[in-house]
Amino acid sequence: MRIAILAHEKFPHRAKTGLGVLRYTDDEVVAVLDRDNAGRRVAEFVPDVQDAPIVESMADIVGRDHGRGQNQDQYRNRDIDALLIGISPIGGAFDESWRADVRTALEAGCDVISGLHYFLGEDEEFAALADEHGCEIRDVREPPAGLSVSEGIADEVSAEVVLTVGTDCSVGKLTTTMELARAAGEAGHDAAVIPTGQTGIMIEGWGNPIDRVVSDFTAGAVEEMILEKGDEHDYLFVEGQGSIVHPAYSGVTAGILHGSMPDRLVLCHAAGTEVIHGYESFDLPPIEAYVERYESFAQPVHETEVVAGALNTAHLESDADARAALDEFATAIDAPATDVVRFGADEILDTVI
């Protein structure tokens, strides 16, 4: 597939979904839409992901006259297959400033892939346009039917289950999950990812959007995936969500922690972060307290242990500074730690699997 990623005014660091897709998708990213950075390239901001031009709007990609006359629509359709919404504001609402881009995409016959809580397929204008132009709107945050409550049996699968947990949202749980699974695969193990959020689902092409399921089914929706995959692989790397101390999302975190019954935890953190992102009146507890918090919360359902840490050091310029931050983090959690992007997941793989 050839895709465009919408990330207006948020690229790169507040476009978590877009960046995750750029890093891990097998699809070709034709362009990133960001009206604040039009004319530049992805590689200028993030060197270690797929590069692509940054454009102002969808019209810049599909709207130009390719000089093909009546075949223009057909050309456009081959030119780009889908527009992917690569940002998600708190609450998952749709920003009306994106409407023209979605409209242009659908009119050009592009599918639209979204992980917003606001389902684009239920938007009257978009639904009508998709129908008219024969394209598809995929709301990946729409949970499948048939989910139910957990039975508390995820530990019955043969695979070892590794869950990423975090000090906050947006600290690298998806990235750590993907890098660990890749490293385990490269080391000759049969490892699979259990996607629990929009970005993981977009990358892997399947999964349950846990933060969107009925809250009673939070643990059950994770358990269902573990039971489905757990006897086919040696290791399952479960994408964690939120944080156990988050004022809004702790319920999702708690459900995943109990529902997945993980054998091991990897604690993810962004170096230097001291307050909850978007909830700045809430301080993060000391790093060392998170280990006890996660292990103790999990214990009545399934004993588990924080065996390693993953620290995002992207904003530290020198590798030496990153190493110093890693040392401090590893000491705090009393376990080995790495930056899975900067130094690779191999540094902690042995303790994780």
Binding site for a copy of itself (CB under 8 A): 90-93, 117, 148-152, 210-220, 244-255, 258-259, 279, 281-285, 293, 296-297, 300-301
Cβ 6 to a copy of itself shortest distance, Å: 21
Phi, psi of 134 (to 5 degrees): 65, 35
Between 285 and 344, CB nearer to a copy of itself: 285
Cβ 292 to a copy of itself shortest distance, Å: 9
Phi, psi of 160 (to 5 degrees): -80, 135
**CA dist., res. 94 & res. 126, Å (int):** 12
Cβ 294 to a copy of itself shortest distance, Å: 11
Q: How far is CA 283 from the centre of its chain?
A: 24
Between 109 and 200, CB nearer to a copy of itself: 200
249: left (phi over 0), alpha (psi -120 to 50) or beta: alpha
Phi, psi of 308 (to 5 degrees): -160, 165
Between 280 and 317, CB nearer to a copy of itself: 280
**CA dist., res. 50 & res. 53, Å (int):** 10
Between 150 and 338, CB nearer to a copy of itself: 150
Cβ 122 to a copy of itself shortest distance, Å: 12
Between 50 and 88, CB nearer to a copy of itself: 88
Cβ 257 to a copy of itself shortest distance, Å: 8
**CA dist., res. 17 & res. 197, Å (int):** 10
**Is the Cα dihedral 141, 249, 242, 94 positive or negative?**
positive
**CA dist., res. 255 & res. 111, Å (int):** 32
Cβ 9 to a copy of itself shortest distance, Å: 20
Contact 299, 257 (CB under 8 A): no
Between 23 and 258, CB nearer to a copy of itself: 258
**CA dist., res. 304 & res. 262, Å (int):** 6
Between 76 and 246, CB nearer to a copy of itself: 246
**CA dist., res. 284 & res. 92, Å (int):** 23
Cβ 298 to a copy of itself shortest distance, Å: 10
Contact 219, 235 (CB under 8 A): no
Contact 226, 194 (CB under 8 A): yes
Cβ 161 to a copy of itself shortest distance, Å: 15
Between 70 and 281, CB nearer to a copy of itself: 281
